[in-house]
């Protein structure tokens, strides 16, 4: 029992595919102190009450993005959401819009495939030898993409995105923001290749501009802003191609 005598009811969505036909809610009484996170509450359940509970976690410091969950219906990181903020009861479920693997663990195959599709790394504009030294960049050039480089792939924005929930073909906010991060990098030369996806309905134009993705982002990446900037860039690319003389660039 916690030193201050506080107890909260944690209602956790359970699903064990080898024995459960459907997910179901299971309640646990968890003693807590004011400095305990939801993640610590789950750790107490697993260590003291029910060792069969499954969930993902790693760093416990809002860096790895592993502990993304639905907490009282809102996509949050369990490690930075505290039990003291709830009154008597809190519901914890897996991230929405992803298939459930087991309990609070979801399958992320679709996300990982989409992540690989944008080539999330610097594609140099021109080859450079070690003797030539590093690729230099001014503070102003860094500022253009710095905000969008903070993504930790927690996928909270995917659970917040109604478009991804309706159409899983949509590339999604986090990955499109990461695409912008590399496209805006002065050292990168892969924009044209990535924008083949960005121009499509599965890319920037699939976004319906709800912007809840930016609200739930724990790192202030603001995917909605990145997507809006690239919609403008995509439109400019279209008109440049439309207005170019026939045969130009071929």
In this predicted structure, what is the pLDDT of residue 198?
A: 85
pTM of the predicted protein model: 0.89
* Local structure of 80: helix, strand or coil: helix
The string of pLDDT tens digits covering residues 20-69 is 999 999 999 999 999 999 999 999 999 999 999 999 999 999 999 999 99
Residue 240 has pLDDT above 70, yes or no: no
Radius of gyration of the chain (CA): 22
The confidence band for 126, taking pLDDT boundaries of 50, 70 and 90, is confident
Residue 173 has pLDDT above 80, yes or no: yes
The string of pLDDT tens digits covering residues 55-110 is 999 999 999 999 999 999 999 999 999 999 999 999 999 999 999 999 999 999 99
- Every domain of the chain and the residues it spans: 7-106, 109-243
Q: What is the CATH number of domain 7-106?
A: 3.10.20.30
Average pLDDT over residues 112-117: 96
Q: What is the CATH number of domain 109-243?
A: 1.10.1060.10
- Closest to 213 measured CA to CA, from 226, 203, 199, 229: 226
Residues 6+ apart with CB under 8 A from 144: 184, 185, 186
Give the count of beta carbons closer than 10 Å to the beta carbon of residue 203: 23
Give the count of beta carbons closer than 10 Å to the beta carbon of residue 156: 27
């Amino acid at each position: 029992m916690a030193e201050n005598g506080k107890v909260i009811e944690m209602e956790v969505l359970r699903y064990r595919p080898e024995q459960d036909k459907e997910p179901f809610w299971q309640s646990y009484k968890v003693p807590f102190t004011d400095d305990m996170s939801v993640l610590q509450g789950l750790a107490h359940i697993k260590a003291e009450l029910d060792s069969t509970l499954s969930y993902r976690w790693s760093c416990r410091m809002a860096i790895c993005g592993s502990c993304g969950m639905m907490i009282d219906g809102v996509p949050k990181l369990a490690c930075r959401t505290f039990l003291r903020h709830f009154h008597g009861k809190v519901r914890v479920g897996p991230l929405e819009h992803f298939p459930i693997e087991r309990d609070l663990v979801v399958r992320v195959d679709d996300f990982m495939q989409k992540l690989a599709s944008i080539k999330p790394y610097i594609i140099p504009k021109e080859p450079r030898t070690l003797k030539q030294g590093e690729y230099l960049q001014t503070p102003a050039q860094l500022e253009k993409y710095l905000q969008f480089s903070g993504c930790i792939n927690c996928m909270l924005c995917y659970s917040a995105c109604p478009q991804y929930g309706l159409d899983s073909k949509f590339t999604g906010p986090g990955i499109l923001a990461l695409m912008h991060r590399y496209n805006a990098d002065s050292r990168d030369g892969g924009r044209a290749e990535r924008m083949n996806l960005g121009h499509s309905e599965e890319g920037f134009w699939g976004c319906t501009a709800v912007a809840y993705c930016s609200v739930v982002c724990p790192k202030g990446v603001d995917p909605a802003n990145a997507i809006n900037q690239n919609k403008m860039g995509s439109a400019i690319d279209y008109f440049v191609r439309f207005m170019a003389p026939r045969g130009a660039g071929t």
